[in-house]
Each structure stands twice: as C-alpha cells, then as structure tokens.
Amino acid sequence: MEDLFSVHYAEVGLKGKNRVFFEKRLVNNIKLALRGTGYAEVERLHDRILVHLGQSADITEVKRRLQGVMGIAYFQLACRTERDITAIKAAALRHIQNDAYESLKVETRRTDKTFPLTSPQVSAEVGGYLVQETGTRADMHTPDLVCWVKITHNAAYISTEKIPGIGGLPVGVSGKVLVMLSGGIDSPVAAWQMIKRGAKAVFIHFYSYPYTDKASLEKVIELVEILGVSNYRSTLYLVPFAELQQVIVAETPAPFRVVLYRRMMTRIAQRIATLANAEALVTGESLAQVASQTLTNLRTIEAIAELPILRPLIGEDKAEIIEKAQRIGTFDVSTRPHQDCCSLFVPKHPATRASLTELADAESSLDIDGLVEAALNNLEKQVVG
Ligand code: ATP
Ligand code: MG
C-alpha cells in the first residue's frame, strides 16, 4: 500500500509528440516545485503523472505546492494497492479514516476488464465494507463522501477529493518571453498571465538610481522571487537608465519624454531579448490607463519594435488587475512606494498624442545606437530563485 498524488492535466489539443513534450515538461516542473518536500519520485504514466510520496514527504506542503504548478487541471491524493478485493477494501478504509462524513458512496472504474469483479460489484463490496466498519450509511444520491476506486492492469487506486489545479500550460512549453518589469502593480500580473500560458519568463528592469532610491531594485527582486513559484529559477536583467534619461532631457522637448523613454527601453529590451532567446516582449500596459498608454502612444512605441510586444492586460480594468495581483501575491510588494524611472524629469502633462514624425524629429539629435550600446555595456544580470 502506498500514498501518492495522481496529477491530471487538461488534454485538449495534446497529441503525439506534442503530448510527450508537454508531459515531460510538466514532470520536470513538478520536480522543481516540490524541491525540499521529501517526495520520493515523479512518474509519468500514459494519461497522468504520479507523485510518489514515500515515507518522509510533507503531504500538506506537497499539496500546497501542486496547487501552484501551471498545467495541472486537478489532482488527487490516492492510495495504490494490489489488484485484490481484500487489499482494496483495507486501502479504502485507511484512505477515508481522517475524513468527516456521515454518508458515503463508492464509484469504481476499471481500465482493465480482466479483473474478476465488475465495477458495480466492486463498488457494492467495498461500499458495504466501509459502511459496516465506519458506522456510516450508504447514500447513492447525495453522499458526503465519494470514494473512487480505479482498477488498472497492474494496480488499484483509491481516492476521494479532487483538488482543483491552477490550469494553464506547463512553464516552458510556449517558449520564452522578456517581461518589462517596473515594480508597479501591472507588470507582475502581465508576467504571471504569460507564465500561465506556458511561457518561460525572463525579466528586465530599468532604474534611475542614484537619481531615485534603490526601492525599485529591491522590489523587482522580490517580485521575481514571488513569480518564481510558477516560473522557477529566473533571470533578471538590470539596466541603469539615468544617464540615458539625462541625454533625452537635455536634447528633446519635455512633453515627449515619457514616450521617448519607452522607445529607448523597448530598443534596449529587444537586444536583450535576442541575447536571451526570448521571442517577444511583455508589458503591463492597459489601454488608456495613463498618458503613455493611449493608442497613439502605444503605436509610436510599437513603431520601433522588431519583436512582438505582448500586452496581456490591455483590455483589463485596474480593479481586475488589482484583484489578480492580490491573488498572485504580488500586490503588497507592488504597492510599497518607489519612484519609477519613467516618472523622472517628466512634465505634469505629457503628450498623449505624439505623432511619429514629431518623435522622429525629437530623436534626430540622439545617437540611438550609441545609447543602446552604452546601456548594454552597463547591464547587470542576476539569477533569482
Ligand atoms: P506598472 O504597474 O507595471 O508599473 P504602469 O501602470 O505604472 O505599469 P507605465 O509606467 O506606463 O504603467 O509602464 C507601462 C509598462 O512599461 C509597465 O507595465 C512595464 O511593463 C513597462 N515599464 C515601465 N517602467 C519600467 C521599468 N522601470 N523597467 C521595466 N519596464 C518598465
Ligand atoms: Mg509603473
């Protein structure tokens, strides 16, 4: 008799080679998520994944961590035993001993029909035994507890509760993205949504220290740590931005500064994305949330982009984003005060409708390539998690 978690994923669209790739990645991610919990082994079967708990696993902690692994539809704590009705009865009794219930029902499924008893016969035998041993009653319609018996070609599994997983896809199956992480509320949520769709996230942060304090740097490191629950080990690129901002301030009209900062950030981020093998940039922009996020300004940022810029929050309200940030656990860090580099040296009323020609004009006095190279030379890389 052995305790294990039986992990199930949504199988829609998973066929052939794709499916093996997906499953192997999920197995690997489960192993990363369960480091330090004392689990024994993670095993891939043809339709699910088993987490063998062994003697020393912290079952509550394993359960908590599995709830955060992207790509899991649901999972169950199960007891595996021999294909023998006496063994199945004993395992079922042990499996439900800590549950609270007054009525129960047993449901059996056989994937191997050579087992000597039919499914209804197994349910009746095991159900009768449990009712007798626990002093509860059988209820076929609205039982407090359903005990599932599954009989396969080489073992029987007993389980009760189905624990919902987080859904999504295993991190890594959708390639890699470079997330522009600011320290604010939105960009960590944008990162989380992409990670949930199976993208491995690497992060970039621009900071204006010593013109601002170090708060944004400390915050992004903490945010990347929190996102690491789903993204695992993460690379964070830190780019000093103040010198470049000073050049922009000296050379260009004030109303365009925010958009010019964002265009420079995007140019630098693209280079780093290419170095890191990321295929897209991700931002936390949401349509018209602030002056730099009008359609016109988004377009002027997009105009210099060579990689796709993904904006998973573009159609979300601030309230929806805040609710997600609270659920993910990034909200409290994000709301600690910090000064973002984009707010440095900017006028009260930045341009909301800078045209492409006006921006090109404003940039004509800048040595764009030189500024990008200088930023890349001062880049710092950290591995978090
Ligand atoms: P957030 O809540 O993510 O800070 P925001 O509502 O403050 O977003 P902006 O300041 O206009 O909006 O920034 C829009 C997006 O630009 C951010 O979501 C982020 O993806 C990117 N960004 C802004 N500042 C930085 C920065 N210092 N480093 C990296 N990316 C940044
Ligand atoms: Mg911000």
Share of the chain above pLDDT 90, in %: 82
Question: Per-residue pLDDT averaged across 94-112, rounded?
Answer: 94
In degrees and rounded to multiples of 5, residue 323 shows phi and psi of: -60, -40
Nearest CA to ligand 1 atom 24: 182
340 CA to middle of ligand 1, Å? 8
Q: Name the average pLDDT for the chain.
A: 93
Across the range 103-125, mean pLDDT stands at: 96
252 pocket-lining for ligand 1 (C-beta < 6 Å): no
Ligand 1 atom having least distance to the Cα of 189? 3
With H, G, I as helix, E, B as strand and everything else as coil, classify residue 215.
helix
Residues belonging to the chain = 385
Q: Which CATH number fits domain 2-164: 3.40.50.10420, 3.30.2130.30, 3.40.50.300, 1.20.200.10?
A: 3.30.2130.30
Q: In the CATH hierarchy, which fold is given to the domain comprising 176-384?
A: Rossmann fold (3.40.50)
The confidence score (pLDDT) of residue 301 equals: 92
What stretch of H or E contains 371? helix 368-377
Closest residue by CA, ligand 1 atom 14: 285
Grade residue 363 by pLDDT with cuts at 50, 70 and 90: very high
Gap from CA of 357 to ligand 2 centroid (Å): 26
Asked if residue 184 has its Cβ within 6 Å of ligand 1, the reply is yes
Q: 220 or 1: whose pLDDT is higher?
A: 220
* Region 84-94 average pLDDT: 97
Please state, in angstroms and rounded to a whole number, the distance separating the CA atoms of residues 204 and 219: 13
pLDDT tens, residue by residue, 336-359: 988 777 777 777 777 778 889 999
CB-CB contact of 91 with 27 (8 Å)? no
Q: Which residue's alpha carbon is nearest to atom 26 within ligand 1? A: 182
Q: In the chain, what percentage of residues exceed pLDDT 70? A: 99
Q: Is the CB–ligand 1 distance for residue 294 below 6 Å?
A: no
pLDDT value of position 4? 96
Ligand 1 pocket test: pick from 178, 182, 209 the residue with the most ligand atoms within 8 Å of its Cβ. 182
pLDDT tier at 12 (50, 70, 90 boundaries)? low
Annotated domain spans of the chain: 2-164, 176-384
The bound ligand whose nearest atom lies closest to the alpha carbon of 188 is 1
**Ligand 1 centre distance from Cα of residue 38 (Å):** 39
User: How does pLDDT run across 297-311, given as a tens digit for each residue?
Assistant: 889 999 999 999 999
Contacts of 269 (CB under 8 A, 6+ apart): 178, 180, 204, 281
Q: Do the first three CATH levels of 2-164 and 176-384 match, i.e. the same topology?
A: no
312 lines ligand 1 (CB under 6 A): no
| pLDDT for res 245 | 92
What pLDDT was estimated at residue 186?
Answer: 97
Ligand nearest to the CA of 311: 1
| Contacting residues for 370 by C-beta, under 8 A, at least 6 apart | none
Average pLDDT over residues 249-269: 93
Distance between the two ends of the chain, CA-based, in angstroms?
Answer: 36
